[in-house]
Amino acid sequence: MAEENKNKDTQEIEVQDVAGMETASQPEAEKQQENPEKFLKEFNWHNYEEGIDPIDDEKLEEFEKLVEENFVDTLDDEVVTGKVINITDRDAIIDINAKSEGVISLNEFRYNPDLKEGDEVEVLIDVREDATGQLILSHRKARVIKAWERVNKAHDESLVVNGFIKCRTKGGMIVDVFGIEAFLPGSQIDVKPIRDYDAYVGKNMEFKVVKINHEFKNVVVSHKALIEADIEEQKKEIIGQLEKGQVLEGTVKNITSYGVFVDLGGVDGLVHITDLSWSRINHPNEIVELDQKLNVVILDFDESKSRIQLGLKQLSQHPWDALDENLKVGDKVKGKVVVIADYGAFIEVAEGVEGLIHVSEMSWSTHLRSAQDFVNVGDEVEAQILTLDREDRKMSLGIKQLTPDPWTDITSKYPVGSKHKGIVRNFTNFGVFVELEEGIDGLIYISDLSWTKKIKHPSEFTNVGDELEVVVLELDVDGRKLSLGHKQIEDNPWDKYEKDYGVGTKHTAEITEIVDKGATIDFNEDITAFVPQRHLEKEDGSKLKKGEEAEFQIIEFNKEFKRVVASHMVIHKEEEQKIVKQAAKKSAAQNKDNTTTIGDVNADLQALKDKMEGKE
């Protein structure tokens, strides 16, 4: 229909031109009739053959002016405004005041389901005319071109733009701005952390264009930037009024393991976990939850007031102030174990009121143990108050005081000389601690472990957890010390060895080992004797070797230090001295009788020499 109207308009213009031409040709006809020869002579046969009728220049100029006013110049890549004149099932017919209407697929208008006839739309002349003479337009390309113009203008002039949040993406959202997909970072959605991104999908919001990458055609927008200016003003106003001790209402903005961040209306403050509750808590979410509104008190802030320390528990009465005034030292209390350390356990006897049970007050036992051996977190325990300082808000407790002190009747249960059995609890370099019962420990010095063995460390003799028989050697009631012995269970075998292996006794044994400055021999499983180097000499002057058996004489025996020294040399030296003494006696007797001559003496000495050399 529009095309028919245009054709009609065109026909009217042409009719007017023809009428004008006819009017103009009437005087020419009269001239032709007046002088036909001259007309024929000047007649333009070329124009006649080509079908070109002469038109006045004025009429041509008027025609061109009408075309210029009524039709657009259909140049490629030009964005113009057109009007929807018809909508079919598949296309929209657009009038752009050209010689013909253009056609655009309805797919390009999917974003605008309300498109109707009469709407004005921006279009790009994509192809001037197709093979059928149809003008091809593009609304989508026109939107993109205009969108970039608008986006750049919004960025350069800091204008506020409207956008539609289409979907979520990694790190933020995708926003439709003027038909362009822009990126909205998660941190730029709001001034407070966003926990549910999906709640923003499908919303129309205002944004500010903060960055454009022309090379990659990327656009970044921000909603946060629009409200930061207002918040900054509000923040300055709040900071200027801050005072210590001031109570403000805030909203829980973020919860961490170490505390809670509270939004005070554009200004964030931190409530440390220790300032949330008078009682011990494991995590702040036990006390508060996100978006919760609560009152907090300002505890401190730095000079710039950019770091604000807040408190929540300070708004309630301190539990120590509410503690029973009649509670005193010696009273029994019940509580729950809230914290365990190596040195003890903290017991909450009332909400926010804790007492320490030192590990030494958990048992009458004196050997080293940790608090974990007695209690666990969450245990309900009963204890006795040992100290109570309301001013410093400190309390110490004890568990062992609820049972009788085993040292009360120690002298009757463990008199000196009595024999008992105990458990090896731990070692030291100088002895072994043995527990006779809970709270009664005794020490066995390393020298009291064995009569015969030389022990360098207690672990060579026993193990932790072994049962040992002991004898009470000493008892110090005031010092709560018990001295024990293990070897005293049996008689000292060295009392018997002192008689059997006394100095001068002779025994046959084998050289066990050659050692520095001598050798060792084993007389039995307890006695190992040392033989000095020179005492290894045999009668022929050679030395005893490892494995040789010989007769030895004990020349030293020390029961206290378990030292035994033996000699083989003295055996044959003693025999030699005996012969010398006998010869001397004989010589003396002969001198007395004056019958002895020098030859006789020489003969006796030669006989002794021969005997020693084994010639006899």
The C-alpha atoms of residue 180 and residue 217 are separated, in whole angstroms, by 9
Q: Among the three residues 376, 399, 422, which one is the final residue of a domain in this structure?
A: 399
Are the C-beta atoms of residues 87 and 117 closer than 8 Å to each other? Answer: yes
pLDDT tens-place string over residues 7-18: 444 444 444 444
Are the C-beta atoms of residues 351 and 335 closer than 8 Å to each other? Answer: no
Quick one: pLDDT band at residue 577, thresholds 50, 70, 90? low
376 & 429 share domain: no
pLDDT value for 23: 44
Determine the longest span between alpha carbons in the chain, in angstroms. 221
Q: Is residue 63 situated within a structural domain?
A: no
Quick one: pLDDT band at residue 593, thresholds 50, 70, 90? low
Report how many domains make up the chain: 6
pLDDT at position 384 over 90:
yes
Q: Which two tokens stand for residue 446?
A: 């390393």
The C-alpha atoms of residue 432 and residue 444 are separated, in whole angstroms, by 5
- The distance of Cα 479 from the centroid of its chain, to the nearest Å, equals 48
* Straight-line distance from the first to the last Cα atom of the chain, in angstroms, rounded to the nearest whole number: 166
The alpha carbon torsion through 69, 74, 80, 85 (nearest 10 deg) reads 80
pLDDT tens-place string over residues 391-411: 888 899 999 888 888 888 888
At residue 202, the 3 state secondary structure works out as: coil
The C-alpha atoms of residue 139 and residue 145 are separated, in whole angstroms, by 10
The C-alpha atoms of residue 174 and residue 191 are separated, in whole angstroms, by 19
91 & 114 share domain: yes
User: Strand 308-311 vs strand 268-272: parallel, antiparallel, or unpaired?
Assistant: parallel
pLDDT value for 127: 65
CATH of the domain at 135: 2.40.50.140
Q: Is residue 615 situated within a structural domain?
A: no
109 & 179 share domain: no
Q: Is residue 586 situated within a structural domain?
A: no
CA atoms in the 13 A half-sphere facing the CB of 263: 15
Length of the chain: 616
pLDDT value for 15: 40
Q: Among the three residues 453, 485, 517, which one is the final residue of a domain in this structure?
A: 485
Among 490, 488, 486, 491, CA closest to 444:
486
Q: Is residue 605 situated within a structural domain?
A: no
The C-alpha atoms of residue 547 and residue 144 are separated, in whole angstroms, by 110
Are the C-beta atoms of residues 256 and 268 closer than 8 Å to each other? Answer: no
Are the C-beta atoms of residues 317 and 345 closer than 8 Å to each other? Answer: no
DSSP track, 166-189: EEEETTEEEEEETTEEEEEEGGGS
Quick one: pLDDT band at residue 453, thresholds 50, 70, 90? confident
Q: Is residue 150 situated within a structural domain?
A: no
497 & 567 share domain: yes
Neighbours of 124 (CB within 10 A): 22
Neighbours of 219 (CB within 10 A): 27
Q: Is residue 475 situated within a structural domain?
A: yes
Q: For 592-608, what is the mean pLDDT?
A: 56
Q: For 29-35, what is the mean pLDDT?
A: 55
Angle 455-460-463 from CA coordinates, rounded to 5°: 135
How many percent of the chain have pLDDT more than 90? 12
499 & 535 share domain: yes
478 & 507 share domain: no
Which amino acid does the sequence have at 317? Q
190 & 253 share domain: no
497 & 568 share domain: yes
Q: Is residue 606 situated within a structural domain?
A: no
pLDDT value for 24: 43
Are the C-beta atoms of residues 423 and 434 closer than 8 Å to each other? Answer: yes
538 & 465 share domain: no
Q: Among the three residues 366, 399, 432, which one is the final residue of a domain in this structure?
A: 399
In eight-state DSSP terms, residue 279 is S
Q: Which two tokens stand for residue 126?
A: 């994509």
**Which helix (H) or strand (E) element contains residue 299?**
strand 293-301
Which amino acid does the sequence have at 561? F
User: Strand 102-105 vs strand 135-138: parallel, antiparallel, or unpaired?
Assistant: parallel
Q: Is residue 174 situated within a structural domain?
A: yes
The C-alpha atoms of residue 251 and residue 268 are separated, in whole angstroms, by 9
User: Residue 228 phi/psi, 5° resolution?
Assistant: -65, -40
Bridge partners (DSSP) of residue 176 are 164, 181
Q: H/E/C letters for each residue in 96-145? A: CCCCCCEEEEHHHHCCCCCCCCCCEEEEEEEECCCCCCCEEEEHHHHHHH
532 & 561 share domain: yes
Owning domain of residue 301: 242-311
Q: For 37-54, what is the mean pLDDT?
A: 58
pLDDT tens-place string over residues 338-372: 888 888 999 998 888 889 999 888 887 766 678 88
Q: Which two tokens stand for residue 482?
A: 């018990």
Among 262, 331, 328, CA closest to 292:
262
Quick one: pLDDT band at residue 3, thresholds 50, 70, 90? very low
394 & 441 share domain: no
At residue 452, the 3 state secondary structure works out as: coil
Higher per-residue pLDDT: 193 or 341:
341
Q: Where are the alpha helices (DSSP H) in 409-510?
A: 410-413, 493-500
Neighbours of 436 (CB within 10 A): 20
389 & 349 share domain: yes
